[in-house]
Amino acid sequence: MGKLYLIPTPVGNLEDITLRALRLLKEVDLILAEDTRTTAKLLKHYEIGTPLLSHHKFNEHQQTDRIAERLERGENIALVSDAGTPGISDPGFLLTRTCVARGIATECLPGATAFVPALVNSGFPCDRFCFEGFLPQKKGRQKKLNSLAEENRTLIFYESPFRLVKALEQMAEVFGPERYACVAREISKVFEEYKRGTLGELAHYYNKQGIKGEIVLIVAGKDYNPTGGVSIEIEEDEE
């Protein structure tokens, strides 16, 4: 019987990977990758020649049983996503659940994920938080926001740059425009950036400035009351 290894990969800087992860990526028989082109760049950087197989949300249902059979025959297989930890808003849950149900050993390595540094660096309480991932794009979006309006834990969302302004505006409407939030952009990359302010301020700022890159949106809980005031870091261009 083989083992499935769930291996986090860097969300930005290629140095954000553990020595153990590199060793296992070299030792396993196969690497399942969300996008083989993206993973190939990482493997080339570290001179790893392990075979790759595409495994993403469009084919994971068809592949899962076949992969489980290979594991049962004794192959050791690693699963990686494009960036971060598999299963966190990325493929991984279905295969892991199947392995657990079939008695196949699984092991998840600690490592990179975008929302943890974004949460810790936001300045909001991180002892208790609620990770929501991506909001529904259409159906169920308003219902989801309404259900979170009274949440006292710090809220964490992933969001597309194309939908960020809409999300901020909708949250300002449901949570209130004075609720504090932090937009973390391009975690661990060259242009990493944090903007902190109220939902109303952030919506206004990004509506004028635009935004690019991977985004984590941190929203303070309903009863968050900053001590000593909050330094609003939004600076608009002088007109």
Domain boundaries 3-108, corresponding CATH code? 3.40.1010.10
- C-alpha 88: how far from its chain's center? 6
User: How many Å from the N-terminal Cα to the C-terminal Cα in the chain?
Assistant: 67
Q: Using alpha carbons, select from 102, 110, 21, 27 the residue that is nearest to residue 64.
A: 102
Give the per-residue pLDDT at 238. 43
Pick the CATH number of 115-219 from 1.10.1040.10, 3.30.950.10, 3.10.105.10, 3.40.190.10: 3.30.950.10
For 140-189, write each residue's pLDDT tens digit: 999 999 999 999 999 999 999 999 999 999 999 999 999 999 999 999 99
Average pLDDT over residues 106-131: 95
Question: In this prediction, what percent of the chain has a pLDDT beyond 90?
Answer: 88
Convert 86-153 into a string of H (helix), E (strand) and C (coil).
CCCCCCCHHHHHHHHHCCCEEEECCCCCCHHHHHHHHCCCCCCEEEEEECCCCCCHHHHHHHHCCCCC
